[in-house]
A and B are shown apart, each in its own frame.
Chain A
Amino acid sequence: MRTYKGNKAVKKRRFGAELKRHWQMYLFLLLPVIYVFIFKYLPMAGLVIAFEDYKARTGIFGSPWVGFKWFIKFFESYQFRRVLVNTLLISFYGILAGFPFPIIFALLANCMPDGKVKKTIQGIVTLPHFISTTVMVGIILQIFNINTGLYGIIAQAITGHTPNNILGDPSAFRSLYVWSGIWQNFGWDSIIYTAALAGVDPTYHEAAQLDGANRFQRVIHVDFPTILPTVVIMLILRMGQVMSIGFEKIYLMQNPLNLEASQIISTYVYEVGLSGNGVSNFSLATAIGMFNSIINLLLIVTVNKIANKVGETSLW
């Protein structure tokens, strides 16, 4: 008992002394801490409107409490299944199709002799990463225009008539989204694997060569195992994001014709809350967003636990 009390006093004195000694450090932190409080934590507190019947007139403190009404409404609506399924389908398609590309590219580029050609190629493939979402979607819309786009020109040259409108086709939406994403990012995403490959011990290659391994066998048995931890961590982290596809690109690629496949959780939040189509319902939109954030939180925490076990690397 006495030691406990003593500890507390010591702690208190220690904090005072630390504050005095390092006050400049805490002063540095003041602005960032206030910024994060206002722009990150206040919106979290604002989640309370998901449990209210929020009206701008009555405000956060004056609107009536309705409990889980909006959550239940969302779960029972036909949109729930649709946006959830769309979100997951786009995510998993993206991972299945997109994940191997940067790895394969990095492994193969690593076999090239160092020099200008290799540098130039690596430079070219990273360029599209810097194209903004608006321009990227603009490019997709131009290229896949059935009359004037490359897609239209080529299809007309082959089949002789104008192809179906791929941009308004729900079944093509996911492919367009995912493959344009791969086109844009495989080069950039390969950088991390290229960096990991730089850590391959050359003596392993020499030993493998002496044992008669050809280049392909060395890629499989020397290079790949070296970057495997990075691959596993990247995959795990990617799995943590399956429910958080960015709003921006999907929203810009949406049109009334493909909505069936392109409405995902984040775009639906916008649709319900801010788009001005019909009555904006801030409370329902916040409830949907909160549902998504909580799933994300659970996923990331789980995934980080797994990553910790697998690779002794973690997010934080």
Chain B
Amino acid sequence: MKSENATTRVKYKLTGCDLVFYGISALVIGILTLTVLYIIVYILSASFSSPAALAAGKVVLWPVDFSVDGYKAVFNYSKVWIGYRNTIFYVIAGTVINVSMTLLCAYPMAQKDLYGGKVIMAYFTFTMIFSGGMIPTYILIKKLGIMNTIWSLLLPGAMTIYNMIIARTFIQTNIPGELKDAARIDGCDDFHFFFEVVLPLSKAIIAVLILWYAVGHWNSYMDAFLYLRNNNLYPLQIFLKDVLVSGEFSAEDMMDPETAIALQNMKLLLKYSLIVVSVVPLFFFYPFVQKYFVKGVTIGSVKG
């Protein structure tokens, strides 16, 4: 017994081969990480430089002629405020709908003995592998009369089947069937069991769902692009698309006339500042919630 312990505890010595391997692997990881980091730092630096330095191509790593003019312009741009306001609304309202629907659906689907459960599950999963596509959905939105309303962004994606399956897997693995049997004997019905036992025990998966759906709403532009025609309803991503991709933006939307004149020279700077302003909320929260995202992926991989 003693000798066995001794052999497994033998101190492992690094060989030359190991050192070469660690060297190369540090290099590869270093290059990959730096490529990601460099682009992020570059965008940040560009956004804090002066319009002239940026247009002359002087910014390579750190800000040149530090200025916050870009941010002044961004916050002066009325569409950004409208977009932010609308996006925050869509994120909150959409996520509330998404998470409620997903849990409502996942709980019954997690019951292995539910009569007809398999058929209903097939009814849901089939929509993951086949869809009517862009045009029929467009016609449907039109026929339902929700075109150009907030509902065209909230309802079509009210639940993601993939997320429902993840929630279902979580409930199946974390809430033992014996618990339900015991509750049933005590006279607890499905309704009470869901609200008093399942929900409190599902905090981790609820966090995952909230984050995934919220990020999805924050970043989505497709539905708004197809179904909305009203400036006052546009989420931030539509304005970002107009400014960053189509290169459109009008001086009339600046709330302060002085900035409107200066704007002509700042188009470029404004783009970088806008990128930062739109991404910062996500990047800021990410470190705090990283573990939930990772958890979601690992739950998903169990039955992905």
Interface residues of A (CB under 8 A from B): 14-15, 18-19, 22, 24-26, 28-29, 31-33, 35-36, 38-47, 49, 60, 101, 104-105, 108-109, 111-112, 121, 123-128, 130-135, 137-139, 141-143, 147-148, 150, 152-153, 156, 183, 186-187, 191-192, 195-196, 206, 209-210, 214-216, 219, 230, 233, 237, 247-248, 252, 266, 269-270, 273-274, 282, 285-286, 289-290, 292-293, 296-297, 300-301, 313, 315-316
Contact = CB atoms under 8 A, between A and B. Distances in A.
Interface of B: 7-8, 10, 12, 15, 17-18, 21-22, 25, 28-29, 32-33, 35-37, 39-40, 42-43, 46, 54-55, 57, 60, 101, 104-105, 107-109, 111, 114-116, 120-125, 127-140, 144, 155-156, 158-159, 161, 164-165, 189-191, 194, 215, 218-222, 226, 237, 240-241, 243-245, 268, 271-272, 274-275, 278-279, 282-283, 286-287, 290, 293-294, 297-298, 301, 303-304
B131 A293 contact: yes
B25 A29 contact: no
A15 B140 CA distance: 34
Contact of B283 (A15, A127, A210): A127
A263 to B, nearest CB: 15
Which of B21, B122, B237 has the most chain A CB within a 10 Å cutoff?
B21
A143 B12 CA distance: 47
10 contacts: A15-B116, A22-B111, A22-B114, A29-B104, A31-B104, A135-B279, A138-B274, A142-B272, A192-B297, A248-B221
Nearest to B287: A123
Contacts of A36: 123-124, 127, 159, 161
A252 B245 contact: yes
A108 B7 contact: no
A274 B290 contact: no
B279 A46 contact: no
A274 B297 contact: no
Contacts of B189: 24
Contacts of A22: 111, 114-115, 190
Contacts, number: 275
B245 A126 contact: no
Which of A29, A45, A192 has the most chain B CB within a 10 Å cutoff?
A29
Given A134-B237, A289-B133, 5 more contacts: A29-B109, A112-B29, A131-B279, A132-B218, A141-B244
